[in-house]
A and B are shown apart, each in its own frame.
Chain A
């Protein structure tokens, strides 16, 4: 920014069309167009910030870290669920359309209502359900690096909700527990310290869980953290199928299910 001359050389005029909606005054969402002089090194979020700072202070959207860690700046950019801090303007055409994340109710402008998402995340009991609670005196739960490696990938989720916007099943059935929550359940199921798989199966293997997934794989394609929720769901299907048949072959095991540990935040 200090060297105005060099930065001006690489400025490109981009027409940015943003879906606006104010629940207090607007009946329906509508598009508003802005002309933005974009710098070579800008990401989409910089362009949106420019609009907010210079063109239209009423524009509402979420962002925080500007480095693909907080997961709050997800938007539809030219129809693709995108982390707006993670996509360069220079890779885009001269006209860019930005909309709030698909498959979520719009709260205002680019801000979507995430209550349902949070509810889904917590529905899979995403915390260690240890076989027995240890007191501080009893020490820590031990884990080997190989055991950590098993699930580490699934801990990388930043709750950006891009996968929910990309998922065609989500669009057809908004009760579907969805990719991120199921990947999170898998993360705990794979954790050697955890014994809560059967408790999670009440949601995970239910009519709203893994079986709604038809393995389109769009979630894994858009995920900025390479969590690969589609793989998590397929692996969960295999495990849940095993558990399902075990229930018939070993009915005496079912009785124990009710007493499965319920640790965490209760």
Chain B
């Protein structure tokens, strides 16, 4: 129950700031996307042509929009990876090094795929 010395300054802020930013983005962005793509269109509240492949593709031709989409998805991906790492920890899985490697690798892979898909 005692504080184990020596204490080290933590480098967690690097990961945590990405995680926090990703959490905010995920919480704000995904409900909107789900509302648009999974509810509004299938239920006919919005015309399907609005999100036709060509339109979205055309939108993504703009480099500025590409960068925004990249930033949003990049943050969400790393948020998810870190969340999974913490969840594993909360479930009492003590192999943090391996878990971190696993989920951050998946996140890295997803980021690479994202770059390939976008640019």
Contacts and interface: CB of A to CB of B under 8 A. Distances in A.
Interface stretch (B10-18, B36-44, B52-60): B10-18
Given A172-B92, A211-B16, A214-B90, A113 B1 contact: yes
> Taking chain A's interface residues, is the majority helix, strand, or loop, or is none over half, making it mixed?
helix
B9 A205 contact: yes
Contacts of A172: 89, 92, 94
Given A205-B9, A207-B10, A211-B12, A104 B1 contact: yes
B16 A177 contact: no
B86 interface: yes
A49 interface: no
Nearest to B2: A116
Contact of B7 (A103, A113, A119, A207): A207
A177 B10 contact: no
Interface in A171-210: 172, 174-175, 177, 201-203, 205-209
A240 B13 contact: yes
A211 B1 CA distance: 17
A206 B9 contact: yes
A237 B20 contact: yes
Contacts of A203: 3, 7
Contact of B4 (A104, A205, A208): A208
Nearest to A116: B1
A213 to B, nearest CB: 10
A181 to B, nearest CB: 9
A120 B13 contact: no
B9 A238 contact: no
A263 interface: no
Chain B interface size band reads: 10 to 19
B1 A241 contact: no
A148 interface: no
B3 A119 contact: yes
Residue with the greatest number of chain A CB neighbours at <10 A, chosen from B3, B10, B86, B92: B3
B16 A214 contact: no
Nearest to B89: A214
A241 B16 contact: yes
A244 interface: yes
Nearest to A171: B92
B2 A209 contact: no
Nearest to B6: A206
Contacts of B4: 175, 208
A202 B7 contact: yes
B9 to A, nearest CB: 6
A211 B89 contact: no
Contacts of B10: 205-207, 209, 211
Interface string A78-109: 00000000000000000000000001110000
A261 interface: no
A206 B7 contact: yes
A216 interface: yes
| A-B pairs with lowest CB-CB distance, top 3 | A116-B1, A206-B7, A244-B13
Interface of B: 1-4, 7-10, 12-14, 16-17, 20, 86, 89-90, 92, 94
6 contacts: A103-B1, A120-B2, A172-B89, A177-B3, A206-B7, A209-B7
Given A208-B7, A209-B7, A237-B20, 4 more contacts: A105-B1, A175-B4, A205-B10, A205-B13
